[in-house]
């Protein structure tokens, strides 16, 4: 436990350190810009709870609430800092980590779901994707590719750096990856809570060899969850709203890219589609930016997003998006959970709670981070707080 806490202390330094000198005073990390000087606010900082892997019999699985007919069970436990989920080669699930883990795991779908480290000591190894025999992993500075990994996940060797122009830093610099039509998509978040982000705060794409970088969407403060609609190929993404505006504002956003490379989603000028920033919004009109498809709640920590492509769940969930609300760190009252969203066909979306009771006595029992639709149609949910992966299935009316 002492070793775990040392790792967490180091992780906290990673979050609050590495300020962008051109964006904030030397003694103020980017996440603190705009923080009011009140006693309550000054006590708040990222990583408020230890992401320690919890023994299976102590996980909150039995407390979770889901719609009728659904059930949740612990699929894997003791997976330190479990973050991104992707289907790997054969019958392997790939799991990335962030501040504490600095690892990538593989977990077999069959038999005992025991995590085995396949990449270790890779700082901020959050971005992960597997595509046609190649494994992609992104840190805050580089994107790596391993080719022909089928059958040799336990002996990967050195990965090839295909892109090394990521800005690094500690604020919103970790990655989320998707491959779509032979291009790799990733984001570069704003290097601060609120600032002029320059060339960052965008979603980009590159070819699978790292060439031909293109801007896909702009004005994106910090997305670590996006997926392509299997029906029309358009991208939907969650975006974390700025901190320190107030406890109730602004909301996180669910956004929809319909004109690749041409849309600006507001940051840092306009928040949640209708609130000009008090510093950067002067002379700007929120109507000039693409409004969100839906609001996701204040400081919700909206992370992973996955379209449901299986057949196990009832028909109403086919083509719906599952969204992980990780939960706020700079809001007095905590809340989070798994939510589901349906595009309304008019540019918006309807959002409803799906899996709840991750908070008890205003303390986190768990914090959902990402999803994977498995081959049998069940849904896996990672929990980086409790170091667990849950399996949601449907078997009744």
- pLDDT exceeds cutoff 90 at 213: yes
pTM of the model: 0.90
Higher-scoring residue by pLDDT: 207, 50: 207
- pLDDT exceeds cutoff 60 at 18: no
- pLDDT exceeds cutoff 50 at 5: no
What value does the mean pLDDT take over residues 63-91?
96
What's the pLDDT score for residue 397? 61
pLDDT confidence band for 84 (50 / 70 / 90): very high
Q: How many CA atoms lie within 13 A of 305 on its CB side?
A: 29
pLDDT digits (tens, 9 = 90+) for 276-312: 999 999 999 999 999 999 999 999 999 999 999 999 9
- CATH 2.120.10.30 assigned to domain 2-17+48-394? The reply is yes
Q: Collect all residues with Cβ–Cβ distance below 8 Å to 91 and sequence separation of at least 6.
A: 108, 109, 110
Give the separation between CA 156 and CA 317, rounded to whole angstroms.
37
pLDDT digits (tens, 9 = 90+) for 91-122: 999 999 998 999 999 999 998 999 999 999 99
pLDDT digits (tens, 9 = 90+) for 129-168: 999 999 999 999 999 999 999 999 999 999 999 999 999 9
Least confident of 43-47, 134-138, 315-319: 43-47
What value does the mean pLDDT take over residues 214-227?
98
What's the pLDDT score for residue 46? 65
Residue pair 344/353 in contact by the 8 Å Cβ criterion: no
What's the pLDDT score for residue 221? 98
What's the pLDDT score for residue 49? 54
- pLDDT exceeds cutoff 60 at 369: yes
Mean pLDDT score across all residues of the chain = 91
Give the separation between CA 313 and CA 395, rounded to whole angstroms.
8
* CA-based R_g, the chain, Å: 20
Instruction: Indicate the domain borders of the chain.
Output: 2-17+48-394
Report angle CA 362, 366, 367 to the nearest 5 degrees. Answer: 100
Continuous H helices in 17-88: 39-42
């Amino acid at each position: 436990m002492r070793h775990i806490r040392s790792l967490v202390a180091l992780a906290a330094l990673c979050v609050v350190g590495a300020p962008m000198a051109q964006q904030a005073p030397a003694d103020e990390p980017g996440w603190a810009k705009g923080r009011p000087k009140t006693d309550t606010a000054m006590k708040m900082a990222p990583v408020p709870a230890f992401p320690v892997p919890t023994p299976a019999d102590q996980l909150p699985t039995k407390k979770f609430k889901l719609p009728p007919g659904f059930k949740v069970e612990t699929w894997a436990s003791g997976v330190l800092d479990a973050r991104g989920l992707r289907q790997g080669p054969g019958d392997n699930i790939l799991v990335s980590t962030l501040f504490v883990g600095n690892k990538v795991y593989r977990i077999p779908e069959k038999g005992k779901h025991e995590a085995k480290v396949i990449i270790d000591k890779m700082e901020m190894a959050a971005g992960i994707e597997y595509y046609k025999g190649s494994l992609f992993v992104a840190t805050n500075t580089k994107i790596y590719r391993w080719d022909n990994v089928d059958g040799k996940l336990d002996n990967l060797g050195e990965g090839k750096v295909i892109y090394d122009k990521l800005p690094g830093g500690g604020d919103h610099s970790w990655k989320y990856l998707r491959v779509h039509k032979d291009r790799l998509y990733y984001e570069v978040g704003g290097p601060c809570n609120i600032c002029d982000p320059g060339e960052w705060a965008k979603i980009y794409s590159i070819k699978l060899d790292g060439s031909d970088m293109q801007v896909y969407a702009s004005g994106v403060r910090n997305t670590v969850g996006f997926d392509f609609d299997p029906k029309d190929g358009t991208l939907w993404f969650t975006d974390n709203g700025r901190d320190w505006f107030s406890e109730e504002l602004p909301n996180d956003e669910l956004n929809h890219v319909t004109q690749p490379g041409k849309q600006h989603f507001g940051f840092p000028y306009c928040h949640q589609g209708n609130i000009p920033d008090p510093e950067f919004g002067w002379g700007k009109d929120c109507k000039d930016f693409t409004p969100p498809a839906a609001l996701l709640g204040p400081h919700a920590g909206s992370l992973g997003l996955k379209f449901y492509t299986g057949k196990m769940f009832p028909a109403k969930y086919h083509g719906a998006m599952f969204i992980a609300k990780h939960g706020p760190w700079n809001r007095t009252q905590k809340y989070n959970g798994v939510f589901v969203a349906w595009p309304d066909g008019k540019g918006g979306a309807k959002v409803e709670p799906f899996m709840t009771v991750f908070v008890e006595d205003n303390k986190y029992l768990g914090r959902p981070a990402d999803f994977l639709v498995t081959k049998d149609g069940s849904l896996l949910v990672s929990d980086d707080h409790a170091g667990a992966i849950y399996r949601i299935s449907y078997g009744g009316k």
